[in-house]
Structure formats: C-alpha cells, structure tokens
Amino acid sequence: MKKSSKIIVVSVDAMVYEDLKYLKELPNFKKMYENGSIVKRTKTIYPSVTYPAHTTMSTGAYPNKHGLINNLEFLPGQLKNVPWKWFADAVKCPDIFTAAKKAGYTTAAVFWPVTGCHKYIDYLVDEYWPQSPDDTPKDCYLRSGTSEELYDYAVKPYMEGLKIRSHPATDDFLINCSCDIIKRYKPDLLMIHPANIDSYRHRSGVYSELVTEGLKEVDRWIGQLVDATKQAGVYDITDFFIVSDHGQINIVRSVKPNVKLADNGFITYDSDGKLTDWKAYCHSTGMSSEVHLKNPEDKETYDAVYKLLLEMRDEGIYGIGEVYTAEQTDALEHLNGDFSFMLETDGYSSFSDDWMRPYCKPLDVSDYRFGHATHGYHPDKGPQPTFIAFGPDIKSGVVIERRPTVDEAPTYAKILGVEMPWADGVAIDEILK
C-alpha cells in the first residue's frame, strides 16, 4: 500500500447493520456506501461492551490477551461513581497506535476508549470526564494526555456549554475537535468514537424515532470530517472506515444475583446495608456478569457457588440463561481474567451489582446497563455491528457477510505497511486494492 495513505476510523457506538437501510439514503454516508466495501455484520467480543470491544478493535487481539474484560473497575461494595477503564496502561498488549507511531506515522485519537495518557498518540483527547466538582475540564483533559497546545487549539473553543456524556452535545464537541486536528495536524491515523446511537438506544429501545434522528447526526458528522480532509488537502489520500463495536437488545428488568449470594452467606452486610465482606461477588457487564471469588483457590466455595448458580439458571426465574466457567469462556470466546464464572442473560434481563432486596428492579436510564436496551451479552445474539470502508486503498462493491472485529486493526496496519505480530486477527484483504 502507499505510504502516503491516511486513515480515519469513526466508531459509531452501537450502530448495527439494520441501521444502514436508512443511513445509505443520507447524502454523506450514501457516497461512502455506494463507492466502498462492507462487512455486513462483524462479530464483536464477549462481553459485548464498549471498552473491551474498542480495545479489541484497536489491538487486533481478544480480551484474554489485551486484558480488558469490563468497562468498569472491580470495586466490590461500590455501586455509584465506579471509575471506568480510561487509561491506556490498562491494556496489556500494543495496538495500532503503537505500530503506526513506531513506524514514523503521526497518530491521533478523540474519545477512543482506553487511550488516556497513551504515549504513542500524538494528538489525544481522551474519553475522560471530571471526577469531582472541583475538577476543571482543562485539568481533566491535560491529566489524561491532551497537550496544552492541543487543548487551546482544538478543545477549548468547543467547551462552552458542553455537558460531558450528554448527546449529541458531546459528539458535536468531539467531531469539532477532530476536524480541527485534521485541518492543522493532518495525522496519518485518527480514530474517533461518537456515542449518540448507543445513548439513544439505552434511552428509548433498539429501534425508535430518537435513534433515527441520531443517524441523521451521524451523517452530518461524516460530512464534517470529509470537508475537513478536503480543507486540509488530504481527502484523496484518506481511507475512511465507519465501524461499530456492538449492538443492543431490548430488556424489561434488572436483576440482582448478589442478593442470592448474600442469602447463601457469600456476601455479608451491616444493618445499613453496607457490604462488610464477601466470598463471591457478581460484577455486571450489562446483560452478562462476571462472578469473582475472593479466594479463587478455595475449592469448597468454588463448588458451592457454581452449584448455586446452576440451580438459579435451571429454575428459570433469576434472569440467568447460562453459566460459564472462566475456562469455558476462554476456550469458546477468548475471554479470561480474575473471575471464575460468567452469567449470561435470559435475553430480557440485565444484571446489577446490588446485594439488597428486592431481587428485581425497574429500568433506570441513568446507567447504561439498566436502560430500555443494553448489551454485554454473547456476541452472536441480537443485531450485529457493521463495518464500511471507503477510500483510495479500498475496492468498490465488495460485500462480506461476517468477519470478527479482531480483523479491523490488522487491516489498518496493512494499509500503512506496518506489522502487528501480537494480533489475533488478520487483514480483510478482500476489500483492499
């Protein structure tokens, strides 16, 4: 491939193949769709949640290699304000940014998950928000890897009135930042993550008028990015990739398997409901949940917890469709970590970390795991993410039914002419000239 090629990756969180029926009628996406190539449905990773999925999309590796298995830190007993996996040091293997930078390319990322303080990203605006009322937005971005120069040029002008994690305001902000980065710095690799579609699906269900309006926003942002490359004089050498990380499924309730663990003595709490100790604890990923043991070597507890979880599955009322051991998830879906079991949804329930009754609770749109639709389930379920490619290095008209998301970063690497020897995936050669 030409060493002069540039790459822009836009990951539209929770966009699915079915969305393309409407998107391909919109002016900016339509041109890419009609002149590019597509993988109709990509297979994401297990659990199908944003931060592990995006880490796979940038590393070309599965979770058992890159180490991201949950959006959130594991802090038993803490139900609110749990830190996310914002920073790049959580990732245990290199990624496409590393490969590109070491080969002499310039790199950029705007709100691409798990890139905070990434030493191989030249122009970085991390998806990271203030952690306290005293934490200023500027301090927040500088702390997570944005330089003073980049903040003043591409971030500060768009901060007024911004409320992080509100949509589409947050997405307008990050697209504006991205366009300014393109126009001034012309990076060779830029990866961007808007999340409006994900938010709208959590709020209103998988398919809704709100989601349709969100697709119009996505088309507008694609137009802005294309215009920015034209203003920068790099449009003719830029390959665009419009991708997504997971789908969503509608749910009707949230369930609390930690209640049953407490009933059986594996969790204890005081008269105020505060957790005092635990032997086993469920850590939600939405429509799946990782079951941790405080002492994984305690075979008596392991066997007792496993027996209880299987009984809950078989009774059919606790929201559990399947129970996997960590050995099973590793063999079947390349997933392991410091958990012992994985609970898979019954198809209409999500999992909470709460240990207090009642066992079921109503939906709550303030947390992505408990909205009207969510994800985290096995990657073969539900509407699937998709992958569209367009540009000077991309063939026109190639249609592929399915490829795994581990193949995405190796595809970018092949265009740039760089190596990713750690990757589990391979380049999607069929779409490349």
Question: Contacts by 149-152 with C-beta closer than 8 Å and gap 24+?
Answer: 150/123, 150/124, 150/125, 150/181
Distance CA 412, CA 6 (A): 10
Distance CA 56, CA 36 (A): 23
Provide the token pair at 329.
């998830």
In this structure, the number of other CB atoms found within 10 A of the CB of residue 421 comes to 6
Average pLDDT over residues 60-74: 98
CA 217 to chain centre: 19
For 278-297, the pLDDT digits (tens) are 999 999 999 999 999 999 99
Distance CA 433, CA 430 (A): 8
Rounded to 5 degrees, φ, ψ at 10 are: -115, 110
CA 417 to chain centre: 26
For 217-228, the pLDDT digits (tens) are 999 999 999 999
Element (H, E) at 4: none
Q: Evaluate if residue 425 carries a pLDDT over 50.
A: yes
pTM as predicted? 0.97
For 219-266, the pLDDT digits (tens) are 999 999 999 999 999 999 999 999 999 999 999 999 999 999 999 999
257: cis peptide before it, omega within 30°?
Answer: no
Name the percent of the chain in helix, strand, coil, to the closest 5: 35, 20, 45
pLDDT of amino acid 34:
97
Strand 6-11 vs strand 238-243: parallel, antiparallel, or unpaired?
parallel
Residues contacting 325, CB < 8 A, separation 6+: 306, 340, 341, 342
For 103-152, the pLDDT digits (tens) are 999 999 999 999 999 999 999 999 998 888 889 889 999 999 999 999 99
8 A C-beta contact, residue 267 and residue 355: yes
- Specify the length of the chain in residues: 433
